Amino acid sequence: MRIQRVVARAFGPFVDRTLELAPGMTVVAGPNESGKSSWHAALRLAITGLRRGKGPGTAAERALAERHRPWDQPERWEVEARLQLDDGRSIDISQDLGAKIACRAVDVALGRDVSDEILDGTPDASRWLGLDRDSFASTVAVNQAQIVAVADAAEALQEHMQRAAATRGTDATAAEAIARLEQFRKDAVGADTVAAKGPLRTAKNRVGAADGALALARQHHAEYLAQSASLESAERAAEAARVELAGAEAAQARMQAAEFAARAARAAELAERHPEPPPSLAADDELAARVGAARDGFAHRPPPVELAGPSAGELERQLDAVPGVPDGDIEPHPSVLEAQHAVARAEQAIELLGDEPPRPDGAPDIDASALRDLARRLDDRSLPEAAALEAELDRLRGRGSRPRPMLPLGIGGLGLVAGVSLAVANLGLIGALVAVAAILVALGIGLAGRRGDTAAITRAELALAPYREAANRVREDRLAALQEARGANLPDDPAELLRMADELAASRSLLVAHRDWLERRASLETGLTSAREALLATLAARGFDVTDGQDGLRATQAYVDRCRANAQQQRAAERAEVLRAQLAARRAAEDAAAAAAAREADIVAALRAAAAEIGVDPNQDPETLDAALEAWRAQRAGALLAAQQALGEWQQLQTLLDGGTVEDLRAEAARRRQRANELAENLPAAAITLPMGVDPEEFLSGLRRRVQSLVQAQDLARGALEGRRGSLPDVAEAEEAAAAAHLELQRVQRLAATVDATLALLHAAQERVHRDLAPVLGQAVNRWLPAVSGGAYVEVSVDPGDLRVSVKEAATGQWRDARLLSEGTREQIYLLLRVAMAEHLVTTGERAPLLLDEVTAQADGERKRQLLDVLHRLSADRQVILFTHDDEVLAWADAALREPQDAVVRLQQVRAAGPGNAPLSSPSEPAEPMVPVAIR
């Protein structure tokens, strides 16, 4: 963007004046009061216009208006400008700064209103640069004060960079904003520690207190409701008890009223019956006592004693005739009877055993083994076999036929069989011999048969010799056995003997029984002897003399007889005791009879005396006298009863009257009836009752205690409730206070969250923008630095943290903080940075012009020239407009600037303002141009 011209239609001291500007660098020079500031403001306001809004506007706007409104016609305040945009368009922009109505921007070529592109209430051409009214000046305009600030304060350069980076220079730096926010947070929120006293902690404390108060209020309210219910319950219980008591009292009063009515009626009846006290019968009480005693004695007189049976003398005689007590047993002593029984049992046992022992019928007097041995000795079954051997042997010797081939074997086998048989038949040795001999004979026969050898026959005979010897001994033994059998009267048949042996074995048990019987008999007899001796000893022990040689049983019988005699004597002796008792009783009875007779005489005498006292003839028989006395007593008892009844009724009457009168009683009864009716009044009929079977006073007393207790409980409940009511917090108010406290806490917490989030975002934004901006600024300054510093510095560095600027010294190669550089160098670098910043901040394709106001005022000649040279070189890329009153600058301009790229405008001192001496031209009239005065 370049500004071709500015037309002050009505602006400050100018009316329809035009300032033409070159596209490169324009120096507007003039002395003080020549309108430089007005043109500077007009130029800026022609581009941005003023914000349209209700009210007087901001303070800056008000100050601007106060300074630059037309002096003569303040209501008209207008300025125009022609702009050449970098997109090729030429724009005429008109700003109605007073009314803010006739403002517009027109495309000169098309004649079209393009205000909408830049409208912000009014057209604001800075928007084509991506700026606004506030940032336009701070971005594109550099004034003397800023240059002075950089020159005077080392930190101003950095601060300006930060401010521009943060808000395009319109407001605070980001660091200031952050510091302000942090301080604000400290003041408006504060820490959240227990000891903190800031708004957040205060709000939390207030919430805690309010919640606590609310909880307490609710608790108290709940207790109040509970106490209300308790009181209501206590009142109900007390009322129920009161009704019950009143009912019971009414019931009792009714009963008492009825009772008094009955007492009054009874008293009236008694008073009528006993107008006076009844007489006393106490005078003849002693006589009545004596009559009573006489009659009582007579009634209880002893009965007459009747004596029966033998007299005392007769009994004494009978006693003298009784024998003495016997000496010895009066009945058989058990020990004697036991001994007697023992003898009898012994004799009975022997009798039961019998006299003959058991014996087997016809049994020989020999045992079975002897019979079997005898049978063996009689048996000769082996001898025929030996004879066969002999016969065979003889045949061999030639008296027989040819030997048969099988004969030897038969002999051997026969001999063997015979031997074994003999062995079995308990002929051991003989059997063995027979067997051996048979074998040998067989061998010999065999050999002889085959060979006909006599030697062999000899050997056979030799072999047969022992047999023959043994056979002889057998025969001899058999003969002996035969003799023994016959001697014993036994059969000689071995088989019969063997049968007998078997039978004899079978009868051996009878023999054992026999032997037992004998032993038993001997034992019994010994026992009998002992028993008999014991019987005799027992008798002796009982003092019974046994005659020598006397049999025990007979002695016993004699002892028994003696006992029987003793018993008879004993019975006779025992009667003496009976007789003595009868005698004593008889004597006592005779004494009693005598005493009774005397007593009766006394009783009768008393009876007669009593009869005489009551006027009855005492000489009558006692029964008659007693009847007369009874009649007298009965008559007196009737009279006495009547008197006692009368006395009792009199006493009852006195009790009933209790010192009063019957009328008093009637009045009291009526009063009580009235009282009972009063008590029953307003009570339900069902309540007027007293339970059955209880003492009314006790029951009423209990009810009264109960009522008293319940009333006390009721009073306590009422007192507690009253106390509670007096101190009961208002729950609604507590809720409202809690709600307010929570609301305040929410506000502070929301504020804290907002500030914290804002701080975080600001920190992040600052860091990012500085990081992006620092290299851009550095590169932009590097482009011009060697030229503006005369080669002293060759490179610049911008710290992305705080935008601090450092420069590299060409001579030493060392980096130096820009704050430490000379004022002139700082001014130059500042201008370069402003340009760089403008490039950075203008976000559209346009290139912003640079408006400079007295920026060289503080520079000396060389620095001034260097600065102007830099500006001139910058004007190759962007329009530079420099306002100055400095003749040196003007001289430089005259020398350095060339038309048409550059221009020099010389302003004349403005005439004094005032009504009438500065008439304004009409807007339609052509404005008087401010023509450049000296341009080469």
Partner 1 sequence: MKLLLFADLHLDAPFAWARPETARLRRANRRETLRRILALAEEERVDAVLCAGDLFEHDRVTPDTVAFLQSTFARTDRRIVLAPGNHDWLSAQSPYATVDWSPNVHIYTDARLTALTLADGCTLWGAAHRAPANTDGFFTGFRPDRGGLHLALAHASEKSLLGWQEPGKQPHAPFEAAEIAAAGITHAFLGHYHLPRDAERHTYPGNPDPLEFGEDGERGAVIVQVGSDGSIQRERRNVAVSEVHDVTVTIDGAQHATDVRSAVSAAIAPLRGCVRVTVEGELAPDASLELAEVGRLGEHLDGLVVRAGAVRVGHDVDAIAAESTVRGQFVRDAAEQIADPEERRRIILTGLRALEGRQDLEVA
Query: What is the closest distance, in whole angstroms, from the C-beta atom of residue 59 to partner 1 in the complex?
Result: 9
**Cα–Cα distance between 186 and 188 in angstroms, integer?**
6
730 belongs to the binding site for partner 1 (CB under 8 A): yes
**850-853 vs 141-143, strand pairing mode:** parallel
> Which CB atom, from 840 or from 865, has the smaller least distance to partner 1?
840
**Cα–Cα distance between 863 and 824 in angstroms, integer?**
6
Q: Which of residues 433-472 bind partner 1 (CB under 8 A)?
A: none
| Residue among 10, 28, 43, 181 that touches partner 1 (CB under 8 A) | 181
Q: Which of residues 822-841 bind partner 1 (CB under 8 A)?
A: 840-841
| Residue among 168, 206, 636, 826 that touches partner 1 (CB under 8 A) | 168
> Which CB atom, from 226 or from 289, has the smaller least distance to partner 1?
226
**Cα–Cα distance between 165 and 773 in angstroms, integer?**
8
| Residue among 516, 736, 862, 887 that touches partner 1 (CB under 8 A) | 736
Which tokens go with 63? 């100050």
614 belongs to the binding site for partner 1 (CB under 8 A): no
733 belongs to the binding site for partner 1 (CB under 8 A): yes
> Which CB atom, from 228 or from 569, has the smaller least distance to partner 1?
228
Which range in 41-49, 242-250, 385-393, 749-757 contacts partner 1 by CB under 8 A?
749-757
> Which CB atom, from 487 or from 684, has the smaller least distance to partner 1?
684
> Which CB atom, from 217 or from 904, has the smaller least distance to partner 1?
217
Q: Which of residues 113-142 bind partner 1 (CB under 8 A)?
A: 120, 127, 130, 132, 135
> Which of 144, 138, 159, 161 lies closest to 60, judged by CA?
138
CA atoms within 13 A on the CB side of 385: 28
Q: Encode 749-792 in three state secondary structure.
A: HHHHHHHHHHHHHHHHHHHHHHHHHHHHHHHHHHHHHHHHCCCC
Which range in 41-49, 352-360, 727-735, 781-789 contacts partner 1 by CB under 8 A?
727-735
713 belongs to the binding site for partner 1 (CB under 8 A): no
Q: Which of residues 56-85 bind partner 1 (CB under 8 A)?
A: 56-58
228 belongs to the binding site for partner 1 (CB under 8 A): yes
99 belongs to the binding site for partner 1 (CB under 8 A): no
| Residue among 232, 284, 663, 695 that touches partner 1 (CB under 8 A) | 232
Strand partners, 105: 93
Which range in 489-497, 677-685, 746-754, 874-882 contacts partner 1 by CB under 8 A?
746-754
| Positive or negative torsion for Cα 627, 633, 638, 641 | negative
Q: Which of residues 752-791 bind partner 1 (CB under 8 A)?
A: 753-755, 757-758, 761-762, 764-766, 768-770, 772-773
Query: What is the closest distance, in whole angstroms, from the C-beta atom of residue 848 to partner 1 in the complex?
Result: 13
166 belongs to the binding site for partner 1 (CB under 8 A): yes
| Residue among 229, 584, 585, 642 that touches partner 1 (CB under 8 A) | 229
| Cα angle 409, 415, 418; round to 5 | 140
> Which CB atom, from 51 or from 873, has the smaller least distance to partner 1?
51
Query: What is the closest distance, in whole angstroms, from the C-beta atom of residue 714 to partner 1 in the complex?
Result: 13
218 belongs to the binding site for partner 1 (CB under 8 A): yes
> Which of 462, 424, 441 lies closest to 389, judged by CA?
441
Asked if the bond preceding 494 is cis, omega within 30° of 0, the reply is no
735 belongs to the binding site for partner 1 (CB under 8 A): yes
Find the Cα–Cα–Cα–Cα dihedral 494, 500, 506, 507, rounded to 10°. -150
240 belongs to the binding site for partner 1 (CB under 8 A): no
151 sits in the region (left: phi over 0; alpha: psi -120 to 50; else beta) called: alpha
Which tokens go with 144? 């003397």
357 belongs to the binding site for partner 1 (CB under 8 A): no
Per DSSP, helices labelled H in 658-695 are 662-680
> Which CB atom, from 833 or from 870, has the smaller least distance to partner 1?
833
* b/e per residue 639-673 (b: at least 16 CB within 10 A): ebeeeeeebebbeebeebbeeeebeebbebbeebb
Query: What is the closest distance, in whole angstroms, from the C-beta atom of residue 243 to partner 1 in the complex?
Result: 16
> Which CB atom, from 178 or from 640, has the smaller least distance to partner 1?
178
Report which residue type is found at 432.
Answer: A
Q: Which of residues 844-903 bind partner 1 (CB under 8 A)?
A: none
Binding residue count for partner 1, defined by CB under 8 A: 68
**Cα–Cα distance between 69 and 72 in angstroms, integer?**
9
Residue indicated by tokens 């006073």? 697
596 belongs to the binding site for partner 1 (CB under 8 A): no
Query: What is the closest distance, in whole angstroms, from the C-beta atom of residue 686 to partner 1 in the complex?
Result: 22
> Which CB atom, from 118 or from 386, has the smaller least distance to partner 1?
118
Q: Are 270 and 650 in contact, with CB atoms under 8 Å apart?
A: yes
What is the DSSP annotation of 319-375? Answer: HHT-----SS-SS--HHHHHHHHHHHHHHHHHHHH-SS----TT--SS-HHHHHHHH
Find the Cα–Cα–Cα–Cα dihedral 231, 233, 239, 242, rounded to 10°. -100
What is the DSSP annotation of 717-745? Answer: HHHHHHHHHHH---HHHHHHHHHHHHHHH
Contact map string, positions 9 to 38, toward partner 1, x by CB under 8 A = ------------------------------
Report which residue type is found at 878.
Answer: R
Residues of the shown chain interacting with partner 1 in the complex, contacts defined by CB under 8 A: 53-58, 120, 127, 130, 132, 135, 164-168, 171-172, 174, 176-178, 180-181, 184, 188, 218, 221, 224-226, 228-229, 231-233, 725, 728, 730-733, 735-737, 739-740, 743, 750-751, 753-755, 757-758, 761-762, 764-766, 768-770, 772-773, 840-841, 843
